[in-house]
Structure 1
Amino acid sequence: MNLAEHYNQLYHNAAKLILAEEYALDLEIKNRQDNRFGLTLIIRPDQKIKAEIQAFLNELKKVESSQYYYPDSDIHITVLGIISCYEGFTLDQINVEDYITVINQSLTDLGKIKIEFRGVTASPSAIMIQGFLPDETLNNLRNTLRENFKNSDLKQSIDSRYSISAAHSTVMRFQEKLQNSKKLIEIMEEYRDYDFGKFDVEKLELVYNDWYQRETKTIDLCDFHLR
């Protein structure tokens, strides 16, 4: 996948819908009864990059203060959704140690994972930071994980929603009617190629999480430190 083309297509399609007031609201964010949980392997960017992201979000908040903004604690990149979030999934339905074993097996001879956050894109319901990969290390890991989990007897739903190959991070979701969609797009245009920073991935995290990866509803299960 050419990530630049992918992000550009996403952005232009979303921008048209947003300006036409045809965007989608996420009505589940405020639902306290939302019981969708899953099992996910994630990467978190470093603090310097998070500070850059929050500076961008502060600009958005000036025109769209009532939308849902991700705090530092929740910003992440999905490596792989092992069990996609669904209603009623609980940890007592699986043996976490078995999942940790498969992940450890998949990390053998893994090279260094590097990620560059540059520019922003959007969907009809959210705004994302664009993540770029200098090589195939992350996607090779994803493919190894896919193969190893599918060859196991473990409960999993990898690629059930879509096959992930990008490295973006969702940072804002639409939960209320937009107050100034034109100004929102103008701010995004200013950040379309903004350099949020690069980082070397030092660890992967296996988490039990809700749909939005909220810290208050997330259980850290295991950290996999990369050398």
Structure 2
Amino acid sequence: MDLAAHYNQLFTESSKAILDNNYVIDTKIDAENDNRFGITLLIRPPESIKNKIQSFLNELKKENPTQYYYPNSDMHITVLSIISCYDGFGLNQINPEAYIAIIQENLTAIQDLEINFKGITTSNSTIMIQGFPTNDSLNLFRDLLRKAFQNSSLEQSIDSRYTLFTAHISVCRFKKAINNTEKLISLLEKYRKTDFGKFEVKEIELVYNDWYQKKEKTQIINPFIV
């Protein structure tokens, strides 16, 4: 898959939808009774990259202060959503050690992985930073994990929503009506090629998380050194 072409197509289609007011508002972000939880394997970018992203978000906030913007603590790249969040899921329903073992067995697939964050794209509900891995080891790792979990008896729902092959960071979700869709798209266009930095992946985390990866609702199950 050509990531640049994918991100470009996503931006083209989604910006048109936003301009036509066909965007999706997430009504559950501030819900106190949101009990959707799951487990996710993720990568966290360094603070230097997060701070550059916040400069971009600060400009977005001037025009649309009521949207949901990710704080540094919640920014992440999803490696795999192993159990997609659903209402009532708890860690006591699984054996975390069995999940850790499968991940550890396949961890050597990650070799010299760097991710370059350049430009932004959007869906009809979320604004994202475009991530470009410098080699194929991330998707090789994902494929090995898919097979390993499918061949196990462990609860999993990998790829139940969509097949993940990108390395993006979600940074904004629409939770209110957009003040001015034309201004928003114009601003996003300005950042289409912005360089947010590159880093080498040294650690991956398996976490128990809510739908939005909010720090106060996320529990690290196990960190993995790569």
Correspondence for 1:19: 19
Task: For 1:132-151, list aligned pairs within 5 A.
Answer: 132-151=132-151
Aligned to 2:154: 154
Cα distance per residue 1:113-161 (max 9 Å; x no partner) = 1101000000101100000122111000001111111111111111111
1:122 corresponding residue in structure 2: 122
What is the match of residue 38 of structure 2? 38
Per-residue CA distance 1:28-58 (angstroms, 9 max, x = gap): 1111111111110000111110010000000
| Partner SS state of residue 164, structure 1 | coil
| Count of residue pairs the alignment pairs up | 226
Aligned mates of 1:140, 1:114 — CA distance in 2: 14
Matching residue of 1:83: 83
Change (3 A) 1:31 1:109: closer
Partner of 2:108: helix, strand, or coil? coil
Residues 68, 194 of structure 1: CA spacing in aligned structure 2 closer, same or farther, 3 A cutoff? same
TM-score scaled by length of structure 2: 0.98
Residue 192 of structure 2: aligned partner: 192
Structure 1 moving runs of 4+ over 3 Å: none
* Structure 1 residue ranges without an equivalent (≥5): none
CA distance in 2, matches of 1:51, 1:187: 19
Q: CA offsets, 1:68-124, max 9 Å, x none? A: 000000000000011011111100000111111110001135312110100000010
Aligned-partner Cα distance in 2 for 1:109–1:20: 43
Q: What does residue 214 of structure 1 align with? A: 214
Q: Structure 1 stretch 148-157 or stretch 135-144: which is displaced more?
A: 148-157
- Tell me the SS of whatever aligns to 1:29: coil
- 1:2 matches 2:2: yes
Aligned pair 1:64/2:64, yes or no? Answer: yes
Report % sequence identity: 54
Letter in 2 for 1:92: N
For 1:159-218, what per-residue CA distance to the aligned partner results, in whole angstroms no more than 9, with x for missing partners?
A: 111110000111000000111211111111110010000000010000000000000110
CA distance in 2, matches of 1:110, 1:75: 21
For residues 112 and 162 of structure 2, what CA distance do their matches in structure 1 show? 25
Alpha-carbon offset, residue 22 of structure 1: 1.6
Which TM-score applies when normalising by structure 1? 0.98
Q: 1:219 offset after TM fit, Å?
A: 0.5
- Quote the residue 2:49 is aligned against: 49
Counterpart-to-counterpart distance in 1, 2:35 and 2:106: 30
Report the equivalent of 1:110: 110
- 1:131 is paired with a residue whose SS is strand
- Report the secondary structure of 1:161's partner residue: coil
Letter in structure 2 aligned against 1:161? R
Structure 2 unaligned residues grouped into runs of 5+: none
Rounded Cα–Cα distance in structure 2 between residues aligned with 1:21 and 1:163: 27
How much does 1:20 deviate?
1.5
User: Which residue of structure 2 aligns with residue 202 of structure 1?
Assistant: 202
- Could you tell me how far apart the structure 2 residues matched to 1:110 and 1:179 are? 43
- Distance in 1 (CA, whole Å) between partners of 2:116 and 2:110 is 19
